[in-house]
Chains A and B, each alone.
Chain A
Amino acid sequence: GDSVTQMEGPVTLSEEAFLTINCTYTATGYPSLFWYVQYPGEGLQLLLKATKADDKGSNKGFEATYRKETTSFHLEKGSVQVSDSAVYFCALNTGNQFYFGTGTSLTVIP
Chain B
Amino acid sequence: ETGVTQTPRHLVMGMTNKKSLKCEQHLGHNAMYWYKQSAKKPLELMFVYNFKEQTENNSVPSRFSPECPNSSHLFLHLHTLQPEDSALYLCASSQAEQGVGETQYFGPGTRLLVL
Contact = CB atoms under 8 A, between A and B. Distances in A.
A and B: interacting chains: yes
Nearest to A44: B106
22 contacts: A29-B100, A31-B100, A32-B100, A32-B101, A36-B106, A41-B108, A42-B109, A43-B90, A43-B107, A43-B109, A44-B106, A46-B104, A49-B103, A51-B101, A93-B101, A93-B102, A93-B103, A95-B99, A98-B104, A101-B42, A102-B41, A102-B42
Contacts of A34: 103
A102 B104 CA distance: 17
Interface in A33-74: 34, 36, 41-46, 49, 51
Interface string B28-45: 000000000000011101
A44 B107 CA distance: 7
Interface string B70-109: 0000000000000000000010100000011111111111
A29 B99 CA distance: 12
A98 to B, nearest CB: 6
Nearest to A27: B100
A36 B92 CA distance: 13
A93 B102 CA distance: 7
Nearest to B33: A98
Interface of B: 4, 6, 41-43, 45, 90, 92, 99-109, 111
Contacts of A100: 42-43
A93 B90 contact: no
B54 to A, nearest CB: 15
Nearest to A102: B42
Interface pairs A-B: 8 shortest CB-CB: A43-B106, A44-B106, A32-B100, A95-B99, A95-B100, A100-B43, A43-B108, A43-B109
A94 interface: yes
Interface size class of A (residues with CB under 8 A): 20 to 34
B37 to A, nearest CB: 9
Given A43-B90, A44-B90, A93 B100 contact: yes
A30 B104 contact: no
Contacts of A30: 100
